[in-house]
Amino acid sequence: MDLAKHWRLRHARYRLEGQRNRLTGEVRFPPAPLHPGEAEDTWEPYVLSGRGRVYSFSIVRQPPEGFEDQPPYLVALVRLDEGPMVTAQLTDCDLDQAAIDMPVEMVTRRLRDLGPTGLIVYGYKFRPIMQM
């Protein structure tokens, strides 16, 4: 990933900014371009709450290139309170603690280090909601 692309994706990556349909109230994430024939003002920027529930999860024991230092780790499908489903890593959670329907919240964490360029990429992950 180059620096320009990283900069363009910052709102979706750091704030879970999606879009809301002004007519129907539908929320989508990530933001998407207009479909042919859609009015320019059909979709507006919308910051999601960052809260949701684990829909499904998996333990990654053989990670892809660039993530060799992280296994084992949890990856989950999270259904956000507003409706969209996102895939993200679970953090601050033991492997045996993960469960379907577990309430989670979005946090910003380091995703990866791009090596010699010095770019460290941060983004969203989810953690169990802290009990107060």
What's residue 64's pLDDT?
Answer: 80
How many Å apart are CA 99 and CA 80, to the nearest integer? 16
Q: Which 8-state DSSP code applies to residue 70?
A: S
Model confidence over 39-95: pLDDT tens digits?
888 999 999 999 999 999 999 998 887 777 777 989 999 999 999 999 999 999 999
The tokens 């679970």 sit on which residue?
A: 90
Residue 1 confidence class, pLDDT cut points 50, 70, 90: very low
Q: What is the pLDDT of residue 98?
A: 94
Can you give the pLDDT at residue 35?
86
Q: What is the average pLDDT score of the chain?
A: 85
Question: What proportion of the chain, given as a percentage, has pLDDT over 90?
Answer: 55
| CATH numeric code, 3-33+43-128 | 2.40.50
Q: How far, in Å, are 8, 91, 99, 113, 119 from residue 116 at the CA level?
A: 21, 26, 38, 9, 8
Residue 38: the pLDDT is: 86
pTM (global) more than 0.75 = yes
